[in-house]
Structure 1
Amino acid sequence: MSPRFVTDPELTGELVDELIECWTEVSNAGGAVGFVPPVTAAEVRELALSTFARCGADGPDHLLAGFDEDGRVACWLVLADAGSRLRAHWRWVLRVMVHPKHQGRGYGALLMRAAEEAARGLEAEALHLTVRGGTGTESFYARFGYTEVGRVPGAIRLSDGDDRDEIYMVLQL
């Protein structure tokens, strides 16, 4: 069964807790979503709350959440404002994640297609994202038409001696 996608769902305490749990599980499974495992929900919470504070009908950013057949968070991402009126025609795709228990079911592909649809509804003409080098995720995004437009060598430091490139990718809508 496919997830049910909602743009800007009401950020109740229960939903925020589910999103944070998903973020923590994805991080601890090795997902490149801002943390290096192991990480706790308490560590994720601070960044999560600041991320969600920008989302919603009145905020500049938009949360896109996919819910499973039980109504629980299965996957999510943020379509973020570009930060300038001169860039109002494009969006950043941030924090793309699928809960580990739902991985391998095609939810990531469905999430990316839903993001395109939501971005078009926001009148975006392009989507931009970055990926952490060494993860292979750039090939995932390339399947949806994203192309690499640049990289910053060693921009991401996971630990001493483990620096990764930050890869910039764009999809023209």
Structure 2
Amino acid sequence: MPPSFSFFTPADIRARLPELGALLQDCVLDGASIGFILPFDGAASQAFWTDNVLPAVTRGVRLLLVAEVDGKVAGAVQLDWDTNPNQAHRAEVRKLLVAPAFRRRGIARLLMQALEGRARQLPRSLLTLDTRSSDHAEALYLSLGYVVAGSIPGYALAPAGDRLDATTILYKQL
């Protein structure tokens, strides 16, 4: 069955918090470099959604787009446009997540395409993001037309806490 996509409201986030928490935790446990260090438990994962994402969605400065397959949360991505007045033309893509069990089905690509469409409607003409250098996500972003602005060595501690990884900064003009 193909995935379905919806922008979650604050009520949706609260109602689906366990599933969103499991999505984030599964991705971190699978090695995703998305800001968290092991050990990473369910409580910390749910706290991210309630303390970080929910307030921004409630304030109307972030969108949470969720992909579902057979009624299960399979992936998510965020669009953050909480910018200064001189940056009202841009937004940041945050936390592209696809559960390991749902990977290799094109869900990440579809999430990004839908998010870009919504960014155009805001209207935002520039998207930025960062990703671990040489990560599989970097190839996805490049295939979607994102351009490398540069990389920063030793930018973030790897999820296992055993090394510092570089990050690549990318942008796309819509």
- How do 1:1-173 and structure 2 match up within 5 A? 1-9=1-9, 10-56=11-57, 58-69=59-70, 71-158=71-158, 162-173=163-174
Q: Write out the 4+ residue segments of structure 1 that deviate beyond 6 Å after TM superposition.
A: none
The offset of 1:53, in angstroms, is: 2.4
Is the Cα contact below 8 Å between 2:83 and 2:91 reproduced in 1?
Answer: no
SS in 1 for 2:16: helix
Partner deviation per Cα, 1:2-40 (whole Å, 9 max, x = no partner): 221112333353312211110001111112222234421
Q: Counterpart amino acid of 1:29?
A: D
SS in 2 for 1:54: helix
The separation in 1 between residues aligned to 2:80 and 2:99, in whole angstroms, is 21
Identity in percent: 26
The separation in 2 between residues aligned to 1:101 and 1:23, in whole angstroms, is 13
Please, what TM-score do these two structures have when normalized by structure 1? 0.89
Partner deviation per Cα, 1:37-91 (whole Å, 9 max, x = no partner): 442111222222222223436421111111212x221110110124211111111
Is the Cα contact below 8 Å between 2:62 and 2:82 reproduced in 1?
Answer: no
Please, what TM-score do these two structures have when normalized by structure 2? 0.89
* Structure 2: 5+ residue stretches without partners: none
Partner deviation per Cα, 1:99-135 (whole Å, 9 max, x = no partner): 1111111111111111111111221101110001242
Aligned length: 172
The separation in 2 between residues aligned to 1:51 and 1:118, in whole angstroms, is 21
| Larger helix proportion of the pair | 2
Closer/same/farther in 2, CA of residues 99 and 161 from structure 1, 3 Å limit: closer
Q: Which has the higher contact order (CA 8 A, sep 6+)?
A: 2
